[in-house]
Amino acid sequence: MRLLVLCVLAASSLLFAQDDVTVTLQKQAEAWNRANLEEFMTTYMDSPDITFTGRAGVTRGYKPVLERYRKNYGTPEAMGTLRYSELEVRLLGPDAALVLGRFDLTRTQAGGGNASGHFTLVLRKTAAGWKIIHDHTS
């Protein structure tokens, strides 16, 4: 009986962690849709060790990643409306998660037109919640 209780508690803990990761991404999209890059970036770990990989190559460090976003999405029109879908959260351990998903960015032609693609995120659980340490978006 004790083993069954421990198994149920462990499974519940995993589900809560997956939900917490999903909520982190929902908050990120909400900040984006308010055109608030600084709040959007609070979902990334504020560390020189984080990485963002995209078409332009690899960007290393929190501040360079923030500057990359400012350069490419510096106006509300360029930011448009962000929606995530097809989210798959895989826990790699008690403090690490991998997320696969799709993004759709709805923008006017003047804002750069619509964009969509897929992403892979690695998140680490910290005292401040789940934080992105690697983002590969294409």
pLDDT at position 6:
45
- pLDDT confidence band for 5 (50 / 70 / 90): very low
The three-point CA angle 129-79-66 to 5° equals 50
The bridge status of strand 96-106 relative to strand 57-60 is: unpaired
Token pair 């340490």 in the structure block, residue: 133
Whether residue 16 is predicted with pLDDT greater than 90 in this model: the reply is no
Token pair 């970036």 in the structure block, residue: 41
Compute the distance between CA of residue 24 and CA of residue 18 in angstroms, rounded to an integer.
10
Write down the domain spans for the chain: 2-137
Q: pTM value?
A: 0.87
pLDDT tens digits for range 39-91: 999 999 999 999 999 999 999 999 999 999 999 999 999 999 999 999 999 99
Q: For the chain, how many residues are written?
A: 138
Domain 2-137 class, CATH top level: alpha beta
